[in-house]
Amino acid sequence: MGARTTLRADARRAWRERRQRWAAAVGLALDRREADRLVARIERWYPDAYEALASLYAGEVDVPVFLDSQLETVLSTVRGRSQALRALDEAREVDPEWFLDEAMVGYVCYADRFAGDLRGVIDRIGYLEELGVTYLHLMPLLAPRDGANDGGYAVIDYRAVDPALGTVDDLRDLGGVLRDHGISLCIDLVVNHTAREHAWARRAAAGEQRYRDYYLIYDDRELPDAYERTLPEVFPDLAPGNFTWVEDVGGWVWTTFHDYQWDLNYANPDVFAEMFSIICDLANVGVEVIRLDAVPFMWKRMGTDCQNQPEAHRLIEGFRALVRMAAPAVLCKAEAIVPPGQLVQYLGAHDTQRPECDLAYHNQLMVVLWSSVATRDARLATHALARMRTPPPHTTWMTYVRCHDDIGWAITQEDAAATGVDGFGHRSFLTDFFAGDFPGSFARGARFGCNPDTGDARTSGTAASLAGIEQAVDLDDPLLLDAAVSRLLLLYAIIFGWGGIPLVYMGDEIGLRNDRTYLEDPTRAEDSRWMHRPHMDWAAAGRRTQPGTLEGRLFAGFRRLAEARTSTPQLQEMASTVRPLHHDNPHVLAWVRSHPRFGAMLGLANVDDSAQAVATVLCGEAGLRDPEDVLRMWPADARDGRIHLPPLSVVWVTDG
Ligand code: OTU
């Protein structure tokens, strides 16, 4: 019998032995209907939770007993869930694919930079509705440490909101009001590490063994040195090395990111249990999507880069199965910005056959799109995207152009070589180009994370600045501005038409440029990512209704994108697939979405600054007989057997 079959049999046996006891306990705690539903959910997900936890902790704990205590957390979560959230649970149990709808559009912002605080966000819901938003990701908002805190990714209390933003009650109210407007709230949960001022870390420093075991602490350099031999550095310049000597602790603490961010020890089942209970509390506050930060780093293995280890996936599978029992309305989203071959595994595409995250970032799409506009050539994108595996059913990508982090140029040697360029050379070109250091570059970004040992560097800058808007505005050049506006809209027209859930990063819809004021703040000055985390410019946003202005042009484009999605059912994720098409014009990215009922949608994006054409037969290849552009943002036309695309333009073609 294989290990997996044994595990499954063990899981079945454990549940058989417990079913009655749990049915009775649940029956006492909940009314009949709720109780039946919960028992059914436990039954449904028990094997997945069991197998994941057994493969992690069989040597540490009695697995069924450990799982019993997680079920206690599940039960108390269900008991504590409001009527409204229980109703949401039920709605989503019967419609588990609610988030795969073509109407989904996401928006990502910092509550303070967007609207002052959580209460302020309520006042801006109208603005989000104008953009067609159905999903709002608020950047880290749980109580961070004072001083430098990596943009909120160093949390001291996961059960409190950053006092500058409001309270847990404010968060609950906001979640409810958003829900009334059809908007799902997503927040960050920093699962990989805590701030060194978190109560667990303080107690570890005070010598409590229980809490020392929550972290990875070494008495001397022997093991840290051994690990360092194969560990990369995430912030080579800001926070070199992966271990920090901490005097009170009397040891070297594992700190992948900054010295004040202590990695948690997930080999310790107590850490898993703590984090699961935190997830449940957030679910009961009304958070609908939990963005699990830095998940690739959650498991360490000597001799590896300590990223994407199989156990990191088992941890997420365990969380996911238990969350589905406790709060079935809630989705898990992986923040895994990893090489293209490792991405889809976070959606559960691996050999355990167990679901993992519902959502994950399509980092590869983002990277190759910027590469395409820099080179005016879509072949690398076509090649790299064609190699990506399709996400498993019931899951999807979050597509995006920009986020709060730097852009790491995740282009493999293999993909680069297949299009005749060298991987390292191309990555260096992209860093130079987007820093504005390459002749003819339109971009005004900056380098981030320069590593003198490897020669690697990443890129900071807002989408508008990287797409050429900052340069055009500075030079006061209307032709350059036309191109830059088109370029930014082109990038968004691809991610809105690719499939998955497109994310608008705050300010892109009105073309906010780099904000250099972070240089005046000593806790931020060294981290150029702050240049693309500007404050919302509401005066500029006020011009969104004025057609001739930069803001008016962009905002109208974003609105059109959201509107076009709702009338393009090929963009539903439930039953459709996407694949790029190879064809003869290197300047045009072509992709086709196929839906069994609604047919095909062919996307064509001309990444060049001059007009381009592709053969109309491409429509036939995509399965279209009577092609018509449903996006209608650029004037394309078909003549002489070719589809003619204006400079930097996109069409979404379906059967008319
Ligand atoms: C995340 O990013 C956050 O998005 C960052 O803002 C944080 O600084 C960081 O975690 C630490 O909390 O390496 O360069 O594969 O790419 O976790 C950013 C995942 C990062 C990593 C990601 C990380």
Which pLDDT belongs to residue 598?
A: 94
Q: How do 501-505 and 106-109 pair as beta strands?
A: parallel
- Secondary structure string (H, E, C) spanning 604-635: EEECCCCCEEEECHHHHHHCCCCEEECCCCCC
The CA-atom distances, in angstroms, between 182 and each of 176, 219, 436 are 10, 52, 41
Which pLDDT belongs to residue 359?
A: 98
CA of 293 relative to ligand 1 center, distance in Å:
7
Q: For the segment 324-353, what is each residue's pLDDT rounded down to a tens digit?
A: 999 999 999 999 999 999 999 999 998 888
By the 8 A CB rule, do 366 and 401 touch?
Answer: yes
**What is the DSSP secondary-structure string of 121-167?**
HHHTHHHHHHTT--EEEE---EEEPSS--GGG-SEEEEEEE-TTT--
Q: For the segment 389-448, what is each residue's pLDDT rounded down to a tens digit?
A: 999 999 999 999 999 999 999 999 999 999 999 999 999 999 999 999 999 999 999 999
Burial 194-209 (b: 16+ CB within 10 A, else e): bbbbbebbeebbeeee
Q: Let me know if 293 is a catalytic residue.
A: yes
The CA-atom distances, in angstroms, between 37 and each of 276, 324, 326, 328 are 21, 12, 11, 11
Q: For the segment 497-538, what is each residue's pLDDT rounded down to a tens digit?
A: 999 999 999 999 999 999 999 999 999 999 999 999 999 999
Which pLDDT belongs to residue 352?
A: 85
Confidence label for 575 from pLDDT (cuts 50, 70 and 90): confident
| Atom 12 of ligand 1: nearest residue by CA position | 153
Q: Over 70: is that where the pLDDT of 207 sits?
A: yes
Rounded CA-CA distance 565/494 in Å is 12
Count of alpha carbons within 13 angstroms of residue 45, beta-carbon side: 25
Burial 623-639 (b: 16+ CB within 10 A, else e): ebeebebbbebbebebe
Please tell me if the CB atom of residue 655 comes closer than 6 angstroms to any atom of ligand 1. Answer: no
By the 8 A CB rule, do 491 and 515 touch?
Answer: no
Give me Rg for the CA atoms of the chain. 25
Q: For the segment 60-116, what is each residue's pLDDT rounded down to a tens digit?
A: 999 999 999 999 999 999 999 999 999 999 999 999 999 999 999 999 999 999 999
Q: For the segment 156-198, what is each residue's pLDDT rounded down to a tens digit?
A: 999 999 999 999 999 999 999 999 999 999 999 999 999 999 9
Confidence label for 4 from pLDDT (cuts 50, 70 and 90): confident
By the 8 A CB rule, do 528 and 448 touch?
Answer: yes
User: What residues form DSSP beta bridges with 157?
Assistant: 143
Please tell me if the CB atom of residue 292 comes closer than 6 angstroms to any atom of ligand 1. Answer: no
Rounded CA-CA distance 118/345 in Å is 34
Among 110, 139, 145, 153, name the best residue to mutate to test ligand 1's pocket (greatest count of ligand atoms within 8 A of Cβ): 153
Pair of tokens at residue 190: 């920093």
3-state secondary structure of 492: helix
Report the side by side order of strands in the sheet with 251-254.
217-218, 251-254, 243-246
Q: For the segment 273-306, what is each residue's pLDDT rounded down to a tens digit?
A: 999 999 999 999 999 999 999 999 999 999 999 9
Rounded CA-CA distance 107/92 in Å is 22
Q: Let me know if 305 is a catalytic residue.
A: no
Q: Over 80: is that where the pLDDT of 2 sits?
A: no
Confidence label for 3 from pLDDT (cuts 50, 70 and 90): confident
Residues whose CB falls within 8 Å of the CB of residue 619, separated by 6 or more in sequence, listed in order: 602, 625, 627, 643, 653
Q: How do 261-263 and 193-195 pair as beta strands?
A: antiparallel
What angle separates helix 363-375 from helix 478-498, to the nearest 10 degrees? 150
Please tell me if the CB atom of residue 257 comes closer than 6 angstroms to any atom of ligand 1. Answer: yes
Confidence label for 576 from pLDDT (cuts 50, 70 and 90): confident
Q: Of 28-37, 50-59, 300-309, 448-457, which range is least confident?
A: 448-457
What would the mean pLDDT of 597-601 be, rounded to a whole number? 95
Rounded CA-CA distance 23/183 in Å is 35
Ligand 1, atom nearest to 190 Cα: 12
Which pLDDT belongs to residue 299?
A: 98
| Atom 5 of ligand 1: nearest residue by CA position | 405
Q: Over 80: is that where the pLDDT of 1 sits?
A: no
| Atom 7 of ligand 1: nearest residue by CA position | 153
Q: Of 280-284, 374-378, 453-457, which range is least confident?
A: 453-457
The continuous run of DSSP H or E covering 17 comes out as helix 3-29
Domain boundaries, the chain: 199-263, 570-655
Pair of tokens at residue 183: 């908007």
Comparing CA positions, the residue from 509, 508, 490, 502 lying closest to residue 603 is: 490
The CATH number of 570-655 is 2.60.40.1180
Which pLDDT belongs to residue 443?
A: 98
Q: Over 90: is that where the pLDDT of 633 sits?
A: yes
| Among the four given CATH numbers 3.90.400.10, 3.90.180.10, 3.40.50.2300, 3.40.640.10, the one describing domain 199-263 | 3.90.400.10
Q: Which residue type sits at 64?
A: P
Which pLDDT belongs to residue 638?
A: 92
Block residue for tokens 């055009």: 472
Pair of tokens at residue 292: 């699990």
Please tell me if the CB atom of residue 294 comes closer than 6 angstroms to any atom of ligand 1. Answer: yes
Share of residues in the chain with pLDDT > 90 (%): 97
Average pLDDT, the chain: 97
Comparing CA positions, the residue from 550, 520, 515 lying closest to residue 535 is: 515
Rounded CA-CA distance 377/421 in Å is 12
Please tell me if the CB atom of residue 263 comes closer than 6 angstroms to any atom of ligand 1. Answer: no
3-state secondary structure of 2: coil
